[in-house]
Structure 1
Amino acid sequence: MRKLSVFSLLIVFFGFNSCVEQIEFELEKAERERLIVSGTLTDLNETQVVFLSETTSKARQPLLADEERRIFTLNDLPRPLAGAQVTLVAVGGGIWFYRETKPGRYELNGFNGRVVNSDLYLQISAGNRVYRSKAQRIPEAIGSDDLSFSFERTRLKDNPDAAQVIIKTEVTLPEQIGDYYLRWTVDEAYFWDLTFFPNAFNMPPPPCIVFDFPDPERIPLINGDLLNRPGGKSTQIVTKRLVDQSFLSRHYFNVRQLSISKDAFEYWRRVRELVNNTGSVFDSPPAQIRGNIFNVDDSEEVVLGYFEVAKARVSRIYTTFADVPFFVEKTCEYDPNRRRDQYPPTCLSCNLFPNSQQEYPEWWFDE
């Protein structure tokens, strides 16, 4: 068994950037590459994203790592699958085409959940292979979230006094008995304080907004079939995050509640079970988790990942420096006795963050 960073098995994509939510677990190296499909289609007015990649295999060819010296390298990371044709199909009529914006990243704009009463499936053409997802419909029931945060100390490895923030939701459940399945995803967006060096025009550095996923291995789920409380309340921890310099300014947590199908719920339940595997003799061993994608011409081919269709609701909460009850070092604060090259590189350039931008998201000042 080899440890793979199977980022595209379990990722959630957002239209405003190319963030990837990453969860790691073991996966066998097969004789041939296996397709990994990851995507969520919602009824929100947003960019819909599907990510395609392929796993490692025993037959994988090395990559050219240094063209000038002709150095090749071989790694076990999934590689983006470029050049595919990706379409969304409504069984009752209607087709939408995804556009490849980066290798392996395919985007759809203008869907807006307009076919809520139709069965939908994803179709992928890659070379001479055609794949489809099982047809599914956008669910109707969904709850609502009332978010809160709290700061506390916790033990983290050798540090018995690590500082963290906990984001909770008090969920108002759908007004029905059973037949609904909920899960939550959380991404974060925070203002990063670049160093403000004195200048003749007293011009501060441009805004730097950084996007990330604070707690990707947490998979909050609710099975409505186990509850008999229409419109009742339930409390969920949706994410935990260690406190660092990102809390010196406004730090958003964007919480997305997804109403999904029973099959999707079972998929994520198995993923959570695998991720939370403690390694005892009573645990199920790491294994492939089959999703809902299949090869139209070869039912025996194993395809990894999942394409889910969901009703969605987004809630946001943010903290400011005044909320943090712990000491946080201001590593980027200007010091006249400190040379420019003595500052961390991230104090000087926003571009050093993998997912960042110099414009505020349109919702930044709405909360």
Structure 2
Amino acid sequence: MRRYIYLLLLLLLACIDPYEVDVEEGPQLLTVEGFLTTEEGPHVIKLSRSATYGSAFEGLVRPVREATVIIRDNLGNVTFLAEDLDNRGSYFTPEGYRAVVGRSYTLQIQLNEGQVYTSLPERIESVPEIKSLDYQIVRIPVEGETNERSGVQLIADLDDPADQDNFYFWRTGTSTFILKTRPDLFTERPSDLEPNRDPDPKDCCDTCFQTETFGNTGIFIANDDSFNGLNTKLPVGFIEDDGIRFVETHRAEISQISVSAEAYRFLRLVKQQTEVSGSVFDPPPANIRGNMISLDNPEEVVLGYFMAGAEAKQEIYINAVDMDFRQPVTIIPDDCRVLPNTTREVPPNWNPN
């Protein structure tokens, strides 16, 4: 018994009061996202701030509102961007506004609180056309899963000009595809009164066209060090097969953009971080400083990059019957018209043959 009493006293003496640590909140870093090209606008610049460390909103992105945003070229032309009141923090150029090859463009921002930021100038270099697009199926094993992921790898055929150093960036544009659903399997959502409802088929409709705009899965860039002045074929995009996009015919669009050497280095660093993190589906693990500078405090870290470049577009039709592997079809038990961005009308310039 005496031994247990000693042990209890030692445990009581060993108790330590909790130590409260005051962690200094980190800065709310301004992030600038924007791309100006030779295609007709409007083009968008997005401004946001990350929440401070320890905040209840930590990890969230907050839009920067009521800023004054302008684009200035090397000839002194100034263009004001207007904020979208329904999508705060997004600032748009006027309709039809486009960059011009040979000119340099600078983004300038004044926040509502008075801070002023500017980008370094970005010069527009010409870009060759994409001669054609092809594709191949890519299958991606998933650890711990029976079913592997898959998708379409887009491949561009281009003739690189020999009289200049070229830096390429490719973006996946708008996709339009035939959407198939099963309105005959529609069932009203169950309620507490009727937990098990019988199917209530709808009369229409099982076939629509759906339009989808999504960001790149992975970063597709190249410089012409190894193919300057030559014809080459390069992977330029990836569209994941989700069991819906490639049920029948899919029209994909790729933008080929000339970027500056500095923008290429920025994108290469982001690409390297993405690849180190594990796969093309993972976000970059750390932030990389871009070409934005605070005029009030040059030491302030501003994230993101204002890019400008010439743009050439090409599209490809992908027919499901020609694919050597597809994901199982995802059943959608509803009228296809209730889904977002769908229509029964044949899209403009739809020409799969």
TM-score of the pair, normalised by structure 2: 0.75
How far has the Cα of 1:110 moved from its partner? 3.8
How far has the Cα of 1:163 moved from its partner? 5.6
Counterpart in the other structure of 1:123: 108
Determine if contact 2:220/2:237 at 8 Å carries over to the other structure. yes
Determine if contact 1:290/1:302 at 8 Å carries over to the other structure. yes
Partner Cα separation in structure 2 for residue 36 and residue 214 of structure 1: 18
Equivalent AA in structure 2 for residue 182 of structure 1: Y
Counterpart in the other structure of 1:192: 179
Determine if contact 1:249/1:320 at 8 Å carries over to the other structure. yes
Counterpart in the other structure of 1:164: 150
Is 2:42 the partner of 1:47? yes
Partner Cα separation in structure 1 for residue 151 and residue 348 of structure 2: 22
Structure 2 vs 1, CA of residues 241 and 330 (structure 1 numbering), >3 Å: closer, same or farther? closer
How far has the Cα of 1:312 moved from its partner? 0.6
Partner Cα separation in structure 2 for residue 141 and residue 99 of structure 1: 29
Counterpart in the other structure of 2:338: 349
Q: SS where residue 246 of structure 2 aligns?
A: helix
How far has the Cα of 1:264 moved from its partner? 0.3
- Of residues 86, 90, 109, the one that matches 2:69 is 86
Counterpart in the other structure of 1:97: 80
Determine if contact 1:149/1:165 at 8 Å carries over to the other structure. no
Is 2:250 the partner of 1:255? no
How far has the Cα of 1:30 moved from its partner? 6.0
Structure 2 vs 1, CA of residues 235 and 116 (structure 1 numbering), >3 Å: closer, same or farther? closer
Q: SS where residue 133 of structure 2 aligns?
A: strand
Is 2:90 the partner of 1:108? no
Counterpart in the other structure of 1:139: 125
How far has the Cα of 1:258 moved from its partner? 0.8
Counterpart in the other structure of 1:8: none
List aligned pairs for 1:308-323, cutoff 5 A: 308-323=307-322
How far has the Cα of 1:118 moved from its partner? 2.5
Determine if contact 2:154/2:237 at 8 Å carries over to the other structure. yes
Counterpart in the other structure of 1:38: 33
CA deviation digits over 1:226-268, x for unaligned, max 9? 2353142133252152341222233232111110000000000
How far has the Cα of 1:88 moved from its partner? 1.0
Equivalent AA in structure 1 for residue 135 of structure 2: F
Question: Which moves more between the two structures, 45-54 or 247-256?
Answer: 247-256
Partner Cα separation in structure 2 for residue 214 and residue 48 of structure 1: 15
Counterpart in the other structure of 1:151: 137
Structure 2 vs 1, CA of residues 287 and 214 (structure 1 numbering), >3 Å: closer, same or farther? closer
Structure 2 vs 1, CA of residues 167 and 288 (structure 1 numbering), >3 Å: closer, same or farther? closer
Counterpart in the other structure of 1:273: 272
Q: Which has the larger radius of gyration?
A: 2
Question: Which moves more between the two structures, 189-198 or 232-241?
Answer: 189-198
How far has the Cα of 1:293 moved from its partner? 0.8
Equivalent AA in structure 2 for residue 232 of structure 1: N
How far has the Cα of 1:349 moved from its partner? 2.3
Equivalent AA in structure 1 for residue 120 of structure 2: K
How far has the Cα of 1:143 moved from its partner? 4.7
Counterpart in the other structure of 2:245: 246
How far has the Cα of 1:41 moved from its partner? 0.3
Determine if contact 1:181/1:221 at 8 Å carries over to the other structure. yes
Question: Which moves more between the two structures, 305-314 or 127-136?
Answer: 127-136
Consecutive unaligned residues of structure 2, counting only runs of 5 or more, are 1-23, 187-199, 279-283
CA deviation digits over 1:312-349, x for unaligned, max 9? 111111323333444633513xxxxxxxxxx3x79672
Is 2:208 the partner of 1:221? no
Partner Cα separation in structure 2 for residue 258 and residue 104 of structure 1: 25
How far has the Cα of 1:134 moved from its partner? 0.8
Counterpart in the other structure of 1:232: 231
Equivalent AA in structure 1 for residue 237 of structure 2: V
How far has the Cα of 1:58 moved from its partner? 2.8
List aligned pairs for 1:4-15, cutoff 5 A: none
CA deviation digits over 1:287-331, x for unaligned, max 9? 431101111221111100011001111111132333344463351
Q: SS where residue 302 of structure 1 aligns?
A: coil
Partner Cα separation in structure 2 for residue 108 and residue 360 of structure 1: 30
Equivalent AA in structure 2 for residue 42 of structure 1: T
Equivalent AA in structure 2 for residue 256 of structure 1: S
Partner Cα separation in structure 2 for residue 306 and residue 184 of structure 1: 16
TM-score of the pair, normalised by structure 1: 0.72
Partner Cα separation in structure 1 for residue 148 and residue 345 of structure 2: 30
Partner Cα separation in structure 2 for residue 259 and residue 266 of structure 1: 13
Equivalent AA in structure 2 for residue 103 of structure 1: R
Q: SS where residue 266 of structure 1 aligns?
A: helix
Partner Cα separation in structure 2 for residue 114 and residue 215 of structure 1: 23
Equivalent AA in structure 1 for residue 38 of structure 2: D
Counterpart in the other structure of 1:66: none
RMSD over aligned CA atoms reads 3.3
CA deviation digits over 1:187-206, x for unaligned, max 9? 4343433444599x965379
Equivalent AA in structure 2 for residue 81 of structure 1: V
Determine if contact 2:258/2:309 at 8 Å carries over to the other structure. yes
How far has the Cα of 1:207 moved from its partner? 4.0
